[in-house]
Chain A
Amino acid sequence: MRAAPSRHEPHRQWRPLAVALVAGLGAVLTAPSSAAAHGFGGGRTDLPISKTLFIYAAALVLILSFVALAVLWPKPKLAQYRFVALPGLLSRVLLSRPLAVLCGAIGVFLLELTIYAGLTGVQTSSANFAPTFVYVIFWLGLVPVSVLFGDVFRAFNPWRAIGRAVAWIAQTAARGPIPAPLAYPERLGRWPAVAGIFAFAVLELVRSGGDAPDTVAIAALVYSAATFVGMALYGVEVWCERGEAFGVLFSLLAKISPVERRGDRLGLRPPLAGLAALEPQPGTVALIAVLIGSTSFDGAAESSLWTGLAPKIADGLESIGLSPEKALEGAFLIGLTATVALVYGFYRLGVAGAALVGDDLRAERLKGAFAHSLVPIVVAYVAAHYLSFLVFQGQAMWFLASNPLGEQGVDIFGTADRPIDYSVIGASFTQYAQVFFVLVGHVAALALAHDRALELYEQPKQAVLSQYWMLVVMVGFTTLALVLLLQSNV
């Protein structure tokens, strides 16, 4: 993340909270923006990978793909996997009510601290708790946690915790369960989450000054309000599983994890197996397209292609009457939307190709059938693009935790002066790790798509034919990930 691009904005105004709340999420896009400094992001970026490494990596992608096609298992394996329950005591402790209340309270505290620090703390994004916590610890840090340890965020989800607490109080008062006023429309699927994640991407990548502490806090308030409305209408758990964008996202990534919760038991499963059981609800492909698309756009925004194109689009928007700042934001919004649309279109192209294979499988059925195989690619994109950012900028938590508001002389834990150590990982390590994650994501995606094809098609020959199309999609996404690593801002 390079947080919002820096622009020339001499003035800043303050917009009252109430107005922003009433105006809803739209306010995040239209509120007057603050001066965008480079500040957040620390001013360090990765070196592009070398051409040699790129060529070797791209070749490995092809080699792995062909070898995989030749040697992968001939019968579906992931659909039925073995669930090994963890010791009962461990499950009982980790899923106990007191621990759930404690985790929820921690989540609520962190959300409140983010809003409080964002609104009342110093308005320098790198010295305030809110931007780093939201963009680095929450948004990026929960990715590896979910992939390794399962749906940990569900326990800490502040909106779920508040919703459950309110529901508990209301039900105690009413002396009985209160049904949700509306049934969740099946057609809506994961679409509310798609909207939420896209809005987050707009705040992060499009809006000038999207990393300003007060903007982050207002966005958190607006998002909380929207979430509580959703919960009030459709029920707390239903909304958390379908509509609450971050809950939906992190539970999706957690399906890669070997840790699974079944009722009141925790257990282990083969990694990736959980993804094969993913319900292809409406909006799933779009959610994945937004994730891959926004990460790609963040990378591509550094490329000469975009830095050459953006001013032209902005000039065009200015000529139809937008202010220079809004025109540049408009250009970035067009760029982000176009990238997401391209990712979505490319996947649909692969599905359309696979549908040609026949066996009476319509594109409509296939559309969601391979969505789960893109989830490892999402993780590969995020890992490759944000690895060093997470490792370095995450260390800012040392001083931000000790001084969340960025005030003079505050040092709660004695770490307020601890600087970011930029020597923890070197440039070569970063580059090899980036390529490694991209390759692992590619192989995981291939394995998932292969398994699904074997399940869908009765004749192995058709399964293989359909796979060529999905292989093109995977190789396309993986190559794009590598090309983005080759891009440089220097």
Chain B
Amino acid sequence: MSRQGRIGLLGLAAVIAVVVFVLARPEEGSDKADDPSRNAGQTTPAAGDDRPTATAESALPPPPTEIRLDGGEVQGGVQRIEAKAGSTARFVVISDASDDIHVHGYDIEKEAALGKPARFEIKTDLEGVFEIESHVAEDAGREPLIARLVVEPS
């Protein structure tokens, strides 16, 4: 390859580097700006959940996300619970039947029954996506996945 060719390619590489740096930077900023939950370090209500969210008492932790099991089916499809690493993930599984709810990875299992929801308060010291399953559904050969706990690095 000629000398000019080489310099041209290096120049092209430099141009790409500059363009991407300029383009990607604001996105990084807006990423955080659009999504206050990322900084809050708290759980956010799952999609499709239309409970009123805490507004006035912002000092208090927001109410836990509710996951409702109706006849073994999770209402509104597989739920998503978000938390930052090093915070606390709070959620409640309300079931109309006896069930064992298992959070993988953290390996926490709690019983739920009619009128006795399973309340979880998990210190999020592990990062990743963790499946939350109903053991009753699993034993019956149904889809056991009811929600995912998404713990992002803080």
Contact = CB atoms under 8 A, between A and B. Distances in A.
A19 interface: no
> Interface extent on B, as a size class?
35 or more
Interface of A: 6, 8-11, 35, 37-38, 42-47, 50-52, 55-56, 59, 62-63, 66-67, 69-71, 388, 419, 422-423, 426-428, 460-461, 464, 488-490
Given A70-B9, A419-B107, A427-B153, A45 B129 contact: yes
A388 B129 CA distance: 12
Contact of A47 (B1, B6, B107, B150): B150
Contacts of B126: 44, 422-423
B151 to A, nearest CB: 8
B70 interface: no
Interface in B113-154: 125-131, 133, 138, 140-145, 148, 150-153
B141 A46 contact: no
Contacts of A52: 24, 27-28, 31
B10 interface: yes
Interface stretch (B13-21, B52-60, B90-98): B13-21
Contacts of B5: 70
A43 to B, nearest CB: 3
Contacts of B110: none
B105 interface: yes
Contacts of B107: 419
Contacts of B13: 62-63, 66-67, 70
Contacts of A42: 104-105
B1 A43 contact: no
A464 B6 CA distance: 11
Given A6-B144, A46-B128, A55-B23, 8 more contacts: A44-B104, A44-B128, A45-B129, A47-B150, A69-B9, A427-B127, A427-B128, A490-B150
B143 to A, nearest CB: 6
Contacts of A55: 20, 23-24, 27
Contact of B133 (A38, A50, A63): A38
B12 interface: yes
Given A42-B105, A419-B107, A56 B31 contact: no
B134 to A, nearest CB: 11
B6 A8 contact: no
Nearest to B145: A38
16 contacts: A8-B143, A9-B141, A35-B141, A44-B104, A44-B129, A45-B131, A46-B129, A51-B27, A51-B31, A52-B27, A55-B24, A66-B12, A67-B9, A71-B6, A428-B153, A464-B1
Given A50-B31, A70-B6, A490-B80, A422 B128 contact: yes
